[in-house]
């Protein structure tokens, strides 16, 4: 077993192994014995209707730092891309400039959403060869891209819907992101920064009856293992139901829960997502923070809206007994609507935003882990009932 190596990005963000163990459940893993060794998430790439304003939103409200840019001024005529960072998490926000850009058409069909969950890998060619041998669709063959800062080796695999996994080996590259991008700085002062330190998990909503196919895809193509599953009563309310299984890479930096709708009395949140996104896609991104209270306060002050949690959730004696002692009095969680869950390893605090864009599709989760490596199973019912109230208000339940 080899000790998990820190990425240059994590070192730059002053994240050590102990902190990453706490934040995202990083574990040691033997890369040499792994057929598809993934270092971690490289970037989450969004297509936005207005990337210029989305970049403003993520810097001002979410406290992210703008670090790089590509657009017409840098020779990119088709679109603009803004690269933002928070701790070791990197988001790339892209929007069409040319009306004929395929990105404009993508946005018309899907609205704002995640198009690429890019993975940093040790050996792009070896990963692609393994993926192809196990039935993956290779969208981009392995190739080099170079500039004065070095060479990046890239390829891309298809996953659910029109989502892709770009594979990136940046071990021979010293530039700010990728060739074609120039450094661009904008740090917004004020409040605690950064509000989150890493990406914890990225959830995919897939077609009814296809969850196990996609779990098998990650098992066979990428050598991911199954962390958890939630079926039946775990994940049903009076009205709607879904099923979920979680796959993770060897060192657990990358965790992909996969949801499918299950038959219920009314339409589930997954059905609503699939109707409005138009196909399977990324449902939510969970970002890991070491101070969820400060993060929620800063985000609320900046106008970010969270799902409501009824007071009854905190007054439930069963919940009080189950969660035991957490780092702050429960009243401080109640006043912010932060949820708590506990399992045999510890506890976690979490909260969910309302959908980020105009469509009821992608949203964010903030998660503060204290030993628990779970996903908040004990909160699913309260969370889903809250989502259903929103769905009903939109006329989609
Ligand atoms: Fe989550």
Show me where the domains of the chain are located.
8-186, 198-393
Give the per-residue pLDDT at 1. Answer: 58
Is the pLDDT at 2 greater than 80, yes or no? no
Per-residue pLDDT tens over the stretch 261-311: 877 767 788 889 999 999 999 999 999 999 999 999 999 999 999 998 888
Q: Which of 7-16, 108-117, 177-186, 235-244 has the lowest mean pLDDT?
A: 235-244
> Residue 56's closest CA among 188, 201, 148?
188
Give the per-residue pLDDT at 190. Answer: 65
> Residue 396's closest CA among 276, 260, 264, 312?
276
Q: How far apart are CA 31 and CA 16, in angstroms?
A: 19
Max Cα separation, the chain? 62
CA of 29 to the centre of ligand 1 (A): 23
Percent of all residues in the chain with a pLDDT value above 90, rounded to a whole number: 72
Establish whether domains 8-186 and 198-393 are of one fold.
yes
Percent of all residues in the chain with a pLDDT value above 70, rounded to a whole number: 95
Q: How large is the average pLDDT for residues 250-269?
A: 86
Tell me whether residue 272 is annotated as binding.
no
> Residue 256's closest CA among 41, 26, 29, 7?
41
**Topology at the third CATH level for domain 8-186:** 2,3-Dihydroxybiphenyl 1,2-Dioxygenase; domain 1 (3.10.180)
Give the per-residue pLDDT at 319. Answer: 79
pLDDT band at 378 (very low <50, low <70, confident <90, very high): confident
CA of 245 to the centre of ligand 1 (A): 12
Q: How far apart are CA 16 and CA 278, in angstroms?
A: 40
Distances (CA, A) of 288 to 87, 167, 194, 253, 350: 10, 23, 11, 11, 9
Give the per-residue pLDDT at 393. Answer: 85
> CB–CB of 57/46 below 8 Å?
no
Q: How large is the average pLDDT for residues 156-183?
A: 97
> Residue 296's closest CA among 325, 245, 339, 267?
339
Tell me whether residue 201 is annotated as binding.
yes
Give the per-residue pLDDT at 397. Answer: 81
Give the per-residue pLDDT at 252. Answer: 94
CA of 365 to the centre of ligand 1 (A): 6
Mean pLDDT of the chain: 91
CA of 281 to the centre of ligand 1 (A): 14
CA of 242 to the centre of ligand 1 (A): 14
- Positive or negative, the CA dihedral 83, 87, 88, 91 is negative
Per-residue pLDDT tens over the stretch 182-216: 999 876 766 667 999 999 999 999 998 999 999 99
**198-393 carries CATH number 3.40.1160.10:** no
Q: How large is the average pLDDT for residues 166-178?
A: 96
Per-residue pLDDT tens over the stretch 66-93: 999 999 999 999 999 999 999 999 999 9
Give the per-residue pLDDT at 92. Answer: 98
CA of 97 to the centre of ligand 1 (A): 33
Do strands 150-158 and 138-147 pair parallel, antiparallel, or not at all (unpaired)? antiparallel
Tell me whether residue 365 is annotated as binding.
yes
CA of 129 to the centre of ligand 1 (A): 31
pTM for this predicted structure: 0.94
pLDDT band at 374 (very low <50, low <70, confident <90, very high): confident
Give the per-residue pLDDT at 87. Answer: 95
Give the per-residue pLDDT at 185. Answer: 86
Give the per-residue pLDDT at 264. Answer: 73
> CB–CB of 202/282 below 8 Å?
yes
Is the pLDDT at 97 greater than 80, yes or no? yes
Beta bridge partners of 242: 261
CA of 124 to the centre of ligand 1 (A): 28
């Amino acid at each position: 077993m080899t000790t998990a190596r820190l990425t240059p990005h994590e070192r730059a963000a002053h994240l050590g192994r102990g902190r990453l163990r706490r934040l995202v459940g990083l574990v040691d893993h033997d890369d040499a014995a792994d057929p598809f060794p993934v270092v971690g998430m490289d970037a989450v790439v969004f297509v936005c209707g207005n990337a210029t304003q989305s970049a403003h939103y993520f810097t001002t409200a979410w406290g992210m730092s703008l670090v790089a840019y590509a657009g017409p001024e840098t020779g990119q005529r088709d679109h603009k891309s803004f690269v933002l960072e928070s701790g070791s998490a990197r988001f790339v926000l892209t929007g069409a400039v040319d009306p004929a850009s395929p990105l404009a058409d993508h946005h018309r069909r899907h609205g704002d959403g995640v198009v690429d969950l890019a993975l940093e890998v040790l050996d792009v060619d070896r990963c692609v060869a393994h993926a192809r041998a196990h039935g993956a669709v290779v969208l981009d063959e392995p190739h080099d891209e170079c500039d004065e800062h070095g060479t990046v080796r890239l390829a891309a695999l298809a996953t659910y819907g029109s989502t892709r996994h770009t594979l990136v080996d940046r071990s021979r590259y010293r530039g700010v992101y990728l060739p074609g991008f120039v450094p661009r700085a904008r740090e917004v002062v004020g409040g605690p920064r950064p509000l989150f330190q890493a990406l914890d998990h990225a959830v995919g909503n897939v077609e009814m009856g296809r969850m196990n196919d996609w779990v098998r895809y990650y098992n066979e193509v990428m050598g991911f293992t199954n962390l958890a599953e939630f079926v039946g009563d775990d994940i049903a309310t009076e009205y709607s139901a879904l099923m979920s299984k979680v796959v993770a890479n060897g060192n657990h930096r990358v965790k992909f829960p996969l949801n499918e709708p299950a038959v219920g009395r009314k339409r589930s949140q997954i059905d609503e997502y699939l109707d409005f996104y138009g196909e399977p896609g990324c449902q939510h991104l969970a970002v890991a923070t070491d101070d969820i209270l400060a993060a929620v306060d800063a985000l609320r002050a900046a106008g970010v809206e969270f799902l409501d949690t009824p007071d009854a959730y905190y007054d439930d004696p069963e919940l009080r007994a189950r969660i035991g002692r957490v780092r702050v009095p429960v009243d401080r969680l109640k006043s912010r609507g932060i949820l708590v869950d506990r399992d045999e390893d510890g506890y976690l605090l979490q909260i969910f935003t309302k959908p980020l864009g105009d469509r009821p599709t992608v949203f964010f989760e903030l998660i503060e882990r204290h030993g628990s490596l779970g996903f908040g199973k004990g909160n699913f019912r309260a969370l889903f009932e809250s989502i259903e109230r929103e769905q009903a208000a939109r006329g989609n339940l």
